[in-house]
Structure 1
Amino acid sequence: MRFEINTAVLVTVLQFLTPAPSLADADAAGYTPQIVASFDASQFQLPESVTMDWAGNFYFSMANTIQKLTPDGQLSQFVALPIPQSSFALGVKFGPDGYLYAGSGSFNPADNASYVFRIDGTGEATPLAHLDPNGFPNDLAFDGEGNTYVTDPFNGQIWKIDSNGQYVVWLQHPLLEGDPDNPVLVGHWFGADGIAFDNNKSNLYIGNIDSGAIIRIPVLPNGEAGTPNVWAQDDRLKGNDGLAFDKSGNLYVAVNGQDALAVIDKDGHLSVLAQGTPLDGPSSLVFGKKSDDKKTLYIASFAISRALGAQQGTPQPNLSKIEVNIGGLPIP
């Protein structure tokens, strides 16, 4: 699949993506992710987010498209989102209604590309909500009432969108804000990014890229946000991106800028499971869905920094996997 990418897009992205400081790997547990599929960085096949359906197909956000990878390894375009070429598809996840949802955004507010799309099985994308063009609708999570929660790292907030597309700012808080004075990715701050509910959906967990924190937000009985608190914070989490819970409450974290995969147990203790090749800017995580795959954690390596020359080395965009002891928490 060949991507038509405007050269100006590459320059724009390069401005904003400088790798985070290297992570010491003294506590790495020795996991070595196994590559499932490799992609072609020269064709801008850089997977920012990944999700999976019940048939074993993977869906990736790549540039302004969603790409589909079949179990036999065939990659094809599922949908080109109706946004400017200088904009980006971001988080992708299946909702409880069976539709695929995707966020989109741009570094340039003039693109007016801040959307959440609902995508049917044929690849037809319909805007669910058109959000603040100054924001960057990123990752997604779903409650049991038909609502979609969307992180906005530029605005330091969480959007809540109902099934009819009506939206509100569910929570805006300093703990969700990026750090303009000391951003991990030089050129723009990034606050609230990865998002995941716990098992009973009583708490929403948010990763903050710049602060290296995981923020826990109680969901009150009336659906409003409770008082957020820092559940975990560590320099080894600076540049954190996608999140995924297992069924025992362990939270897996893709640490994008540090080429690492970390896990935080239910008491907040952090371990680094893997670091370095084949992890290359790991940005998103998803557990397998079938009975023989539920203990497999799949990892999308975005590889954007090396692809654009902001970090030394040959880019290795890929989908890799590790086997863990406990199955993943279903999403949604």
Structure 2
Amino acid sequence: MRRFPRRSLAVLATLGTLALTGCGTETGDPAGHVPSATGADRTIRAERLMQVTKVHEETGMTLLEGPTFDEGGGLIVVDVTAPEGKPKVLRVDPGSRTARAVHTDGRGAYTSAQFSPHDGRLYLSDYVHGEIISLAPDGSDPQTFFSGDVDGARMNPDDIAFDQEGNLYVSDSRSLSVGDAHGRVVRIDRDGEKSTVMAGGLASTNGISFDADYQGLWISELTQNRISYLRLDAKDGVASRHTAIRVDGGIAQTDSIAVDADGNLYQALHGRAAMVVYDKHGERLATVELPARTKGLESATNVAITPGGTKAYMTVSGSAGGYLYTFDALAKGIRQSNGG
């Protein structure tokens, strides 16, 4: 999820509304997929699939996140800044390029979405209210899975990841100021009863994903432009932690993370509508870019790769609206490349 302006966050926290700023129009977007070059750090040109949302008059912006595939092949996305009465969760049919509302309410600001392997429900993180809610796959039956403080402090849950048993791992941002390092990684048992801080002292924790073998967690820290690696032990704890990759993002910052079947990392960028791809050893393999002359799209927030295939769907937002772009991933999609 992109970082909200501090003034907007204050409004969200105190009023429970989404008074965020941003406006504009798109002035260009050539169609067509440009084949990528070969070799290290090649450029992959993404192709526009469709516009999903427009800028909301009430909040001054739109921000697509998720995305995650349901069992029927529909692509679930969330609009973080959707106001009350507008769709906050949508299902996209990539084939027909249509979208329909799945869920809305008058409270949540949902920054991620993922289906649990334990109960098959759709889980959403509410960044503003510090909660995790779940829905039936069709968007009905909303339930609060987790709410309240963790070790005496309320979460600002950004992204989520499930282990194979259905336990939930949360990137708890907490930081509102540059230089703060109060972010955490929180583990919540699959029944929602027990929460544990696995790591602290992180700089605006944002992306979170298991590696391909579920041996550890990749964590992006937005205000430090770095990706950390938490190696897990056999007792659901952290065996070690280190800075794995320093992202040269310029004015852009590290957003969500996805991992493909070969263990490659797809690092989304807030402040630039692009993703950078690394292998598990930190080598930069490719940069995913939008077509030249595309205007009004400032951030790529996340990506989902088709399970068992290589078609990737990237959520991109800005003053032109919220869009889905597609590209060919470097390897096949797995659970770790499907939401969060």
The bucket for the TM-score relative to the shorter chain is 0.7 to 0.9
In structure 2, how many angstroms separate the alpha carbons of the residues matched to 1:252 and 1:274? 9
In structure 1, how many angstroms separate the alpha carbons of the residues matched to 2:113 and 2:132? 10
Over 3 Å counting, the alpha-carbon distance change for 1:272 and 1:14 in structure 2 is: farther
Q: Which blocks of at least 5 consecutive residues in structure 1 are unaligned? A: 1-7, 16-26, 107-112, 178-190, 308-314
Over 3 Å counting, the alpha-carbon distance change for 1:73 and 1:45 in structure 2 is: farther
Indicate the SS of the match to 2:21: helix
1:1-332 correspondence to structure 2 within 5 Å: 12-14=19-21, 29-43=42-56, 45-62=62-79, 63=81, 65-71=88-94, 72-81=96-105, 84=107, 87-96=108-117, 97-106=119-128, 113-123=129-139, 124-132=141-149, 134-154=154-174, 155-174=182-201, 176-177=202-203, 191-236=204-249, 238-277=252-291, 280-289=298-307, 291=308, 294-303=309-318, 307=319, 315-331=320-336
How far the C-alpha of 1:31 sits from its partner, in A, is 1.6
In structure 2, how many angstroms separate the alpha carbons of the residues matched to 1:151 and 1:131? 15
Q: Is the Cα–Cα contact under 8 Å of residues 161 and 208 in structure 2 kept in the other structure? A: yes
How far the C-alpha of 1:105 sits from its partner, in A, is 2.0
* 1:24 match: none
Deviations 1:184-213 (A, max 9, x none): xxxxxxx11111101221101111111111
Over 3 Å counting, the alpha-carbon distance change for 1:267 and 1:73 in structure 2 is: same
Q: Is the Cα–Cα contact under 8 Å of residues 159 and 168 in structure 1 kept in the other structure? A: yes
* 2:5 match: none
Letter in 2 for 1:298: Y
Q: Is the Cα–Cα contact under 8 Å of residues 39 and 46 in structure 1 kept in the other structure? A: no
Over 3 Å counting, the alpha-carbon distance change for 1:156 and 1:38 in structure 2 is: same
Relative to its length, the structure with more helix (as a share) is: 1
Indicate the SS of the match to 1:13: coil
Q: Is the Cα–Cα contact under 8 Å of residues 44 and 286 in structure 2 kept in the other structure? A: no
Deviations 1:100-121 (A, max 9, x none): 1110122xxxxxx111111112
Indicate the SS of the match to 2:240: coil
Q: Is the Cα–Cα contact under 8 Å of residues 102 and 117 in structure 1 kept in the other structure? A: yes
Q: Is the Cα–Cα contact under 8 Å of residues 159 and 171 in structure 1 kept in the other structure? A: yes
In structure 2, how many angstroms separate the alpha carbons of the residues matched to 1:198 and 1:28? 21
Indicate the SS of the match to 1:144: coil
Over 3 Å counting, the alpha-carbon distance change for 1:297 and 1:131 in structure 2 is: farther
Q: Is the Cα–Cα contact under 8 Å of residues 184 and 199 in structure 2 kept in the other structure? A: yes
TM-score (norm 2): 0.75
In structure 1, how many angstroms separate the alpha carbons of the residues matched to 2:156 and 2:332? 31
Q: Which blocks of at least 5 consecutive residues in structure 2 are unaligned? A: 1-10, 23-39, 83-87, 175-181
Q: Is the Cα–Cα contact under 8 Å of residues 302 and 317 in structure 1 kept in the other structure? A: yes
Identity of aligned residues (%): 20
In structure 2, how many angstroms separate the alpha carbons of the residues matched to 1:102 and 1:143? 16
Q: Is the Cα–Cα contact under 8 Å of residues 260 and 334 in structure 2 kept in the other structure? A: yes
How far the C-alpha of 1:33 sits from its partner, in A, is 0.5
Indicate the SS of the match to 1:67: strand
Q: Is the Cα–Cα contact under 8 Å of residues 118 and 126 in structure 1 kept in the other structure? A: yes
Relative to its length, the structure with more strand (as a share) is: 2
In structure 2, how many angstroms separate the alpha carbons of the residues matched to 1:49 and 1:121? 14
Letter in 2 for 1:280: E
In structure 2, how many angstroms separate the alpha carbons of the residues matched to 1:221 and 1:215? 20
Indicate the SS of the match to 2:303: strand
In structure 2, how many angstroms separate the alpha carbons of the residues matched to 1:136 and 1:166? 18
* 1:4 match: none
Letter in 2 for 1:259: A
Over 3 Å counting, the alpha-carbon distance change for 1:271 and 1:326 in structure 2 is: closer
In structure 1, how many angstroms separate the alpha carbons of the residues matched to 2:100 and 2:235? 42
TM-score (norm 1): 0.76
Deviations 1:57-110 (A, max 9, x none): 1111113521111242232221124x52xx51111011113211110122xxxx
